[in-house]
């Protein structure tokens, strides 16, 4: 379901960019028979659309698209985060002709970590189900289990991890990589489980898909202290287990989104947008059902290593 926000519609055979709004939001290009050509986003819609027409002067695919534009619809958002989320969801739901194809995830694999009896974390291949709830951390998205093993072997080689402790090499005693001085010695008693685990987690962290740490869905508040005419000053992005459900201007208007039927699908692009916004403190976090403010567990307060 897409956000219920104010829409500006412009219909003209030769679009006058001076009529377009200066606020942030999402815009759609339409051609003959109301065909959807393109969906884009910007913090300044007028300037962005003007650049489209400038680029359209050069022969090529972009020129062919701009020659077909007969109508532009603009949907206001309170800021950049809303524009990014709405654009990403709209492209995947509406499949415009000229946007790069972005598909929902289907059959994929991920890495999950289990605690071994020896204290060493054991990476295991797990089926990544896009419609599942995110109860535990997972790491990366892969097409098959062979890609997972290849990735972990590369990490072991590049970071001194022990392939025996990772579950690739069987047997007892020092592993072959230790003899080649490519393993820091977890298999030879020269490195503790806590040291090996810390390095493994550090290596995997860039691909981490965080568990959902909340008891229910969130409303992520985005505020614009100087909105343009027709632009919302407040907007709440409704999220459940990293699934973006839509945006509203008041939290109490989120109930239809929360009650809508259908599975909550994980979207990698939306997840990255949400994690970035939360870690940088660009949104306030509220319980979507009660409106109560919540602590932000992802907020980075100091420089990242």
Per-residue pLDDT for 49 more than 70?
A: yes
CA–CA distances in Å: residue 101 to residues 44, 98, 123, 202: 24, 9, 32, 32
Say if 300 falls within a structural domain. Answer: no
pLDDT band at residue 16, thresholds of 50, 70 and 90? low
- In this structure, the answer to whether residues 42 and 75 fall within a common structural domain is yes
Supply φ then ψ for residue 179, to 5 degrees: -65, -30
Residue-level pLDDT at 170? 80
Pick the closest to residue 278 from 230, 228, 244, 232 (CA basis).
244
* 3-state SS assignment for residue 258: helix
* 3-state SS assignment for residue 292: coil
The tokens of 48 are what?
Answer: 């962005």
pLDDT band at residue 112, thresholds of 50, 70 and 90? very high
- In this structure, the answer to whether residues 197 and 252 fall within a common structural domain is no
Dist. CA 160–CA 168, nearest whole Å: 14
Residue-level pLDDT at 300? 82
Residue-level pLDDT at 102? 63
- In this structure, the answer to whether residues 197 and 282 fall within a common structural domain is no
Say if 302 falls within a structural domain. Answer: no
pLDDT band at residue 131, thresholds of 50, 70 and 90? confident
Domain boundary pick from 209, 228, 263: 209
Pick the closest to residue 274 from 238, 304, 302 (CA basis).
238
- What percent of the chain is helix, strand and coil (3-state, nearest 5)? 30, 25, 45
Q: Residue 152 sits in which domain range?
A: 108-133+138-209
Per-residue pLDDT for 11 more than 60?
A: no
CA–CA distances in Å: residue 167 to residues 143, 164, 284: 20, 5, 42
pLDDT tens digits, 152-167:
999 999 999 998 899 8
Per-residue pLDDT for 1 more than 50?
A: no
- In this structure, the answer to whether residues 112 and 205 fall within a common structural domain is yes
- CA neighbours closer than 13 Å in the CB half-sphere of residue 153: 9
pLDDT tens digits, 194-249:
999 999 999 999 999 999 999 999 999 999 999 998 899 999 999 999 999 999 99
Dist. CA 17–CA 286, nearest whole Å: 38
Say if 2 falls within a structural domain. Answer: no
pLDDT tens digits, 54-91:
998 899 999 999 999 998 999 999 999 999 999 999 99
Per-residue pLDDT for 303 more than 70?
A: no
pLDDT tens digits, 84-105:
999 999 999 999 999 986 666 5
Residue-level pLDDT at 5? 40
Domain boundary pick from 154, 180, 209: 209
pLDDT tens digits, 251-283:
999 999 998 856 688 998 999 999 999 999 999
Dist. CA 273–CA 79, nearest whole Å: 13
**Triad 87, 90, 94: Cα angle to 5°:** 145
Strand partners, 72: 10, 29
Residue-level pLDDT at 13? 43
Domain boundary pick from 68, 94, 120: 94
Q: Exposed, middle or buried: residue 223 (CB in 10 Å: 0-12, 13-18, 19+)?
A: middle
Per-residue pLDDT for 292 more than 90?
A: yes
Dist. CA 96–CA 224, nearest whole Å: 29
In this structure, the number of other CB atoms found within 10 A of the CB of residue 123 comes to 22
The tokens of 44 are what?
Answer: 């300044």
**Mean pLDDT, residues 181-188:** 90
Say if 295 falls within a structural domain. Answer: no
- In this structure, the answer to whether residues 205 and 241 fall within a common structural domain is no
- In this structure, the answer to whether residues 205 and 223 fall within a common structural domain is no
> Residue 246: enclosing H or E segment and its boundaries?
strand 243-248
**Mean pLDDT, residues 32-39:** 95
Do 222 and 78 form a contact (C-beta atoms < 8 A)? yes
Q: How many domains is the chain built from?
A: 3
Per-residue pLDDT for 3 more than 70?
A: no
């Amino acid at each position: 379901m897409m956000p219920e926000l104010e829409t500006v519609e412009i219909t003209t055979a030769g679009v006058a960019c001076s009529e377009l709004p200066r606020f942030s939001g999402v815009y759609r290009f339409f051609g003959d028979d109301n065909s959807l050509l393109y969906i884009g986003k910007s913090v300044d819609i007028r300037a962005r659309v003007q650049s489209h027409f400038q680029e359209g002067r050069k022969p090529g695919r972009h020129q062919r698209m701009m020659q077909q534009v007969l109508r532009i619809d603009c949907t206001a958002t309170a800021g950049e985060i809303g524009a990014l989320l709405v654009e990403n969801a709209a492209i995947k739901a509406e499949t415009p002709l000229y946007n790069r194809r972005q598909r929902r995830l289907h059959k994929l694999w991920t890495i999950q970590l289990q605690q071994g009896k020896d204290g060493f974390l054991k990476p295991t291949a797990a089926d990544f189900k896009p419609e599942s709830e995110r109860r535990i951390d997972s790491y990366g998205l892969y097409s098959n289990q062979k890609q997972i093993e290849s990735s972990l072997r590369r990490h072991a080689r590049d970071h001194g991890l022990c392939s025996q402790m990772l579950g690739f090499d069987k047997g007892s005693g020092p592993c072959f990589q230790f003899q080649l001085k490519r393993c820091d010695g977890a298999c030879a008693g020269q490195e503790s489980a806590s040291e090996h685990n810390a390095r493994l987690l550090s290596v995997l962290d860039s691909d981490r898909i965080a568990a959902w740490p909340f008891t229910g869905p969130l409303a992520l508040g985005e505020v614009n202290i100087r909105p343009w005419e027709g632009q919302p000053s407040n907007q709440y992005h409704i999220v459940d287990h990293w699934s973006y459900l839509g945006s509203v201007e008041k939290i109490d208007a989120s109930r239809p989104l929360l009650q809508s039927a259908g599975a909550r699908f994980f979207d990698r692009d939306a997840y990255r947008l949400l994690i970035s916004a939360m870690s940088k403190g660009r949104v306030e976090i509220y319980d979507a059902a009660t409106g109560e403010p919540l602590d932000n567990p992802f907020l980075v307060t100091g420089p990242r290593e």
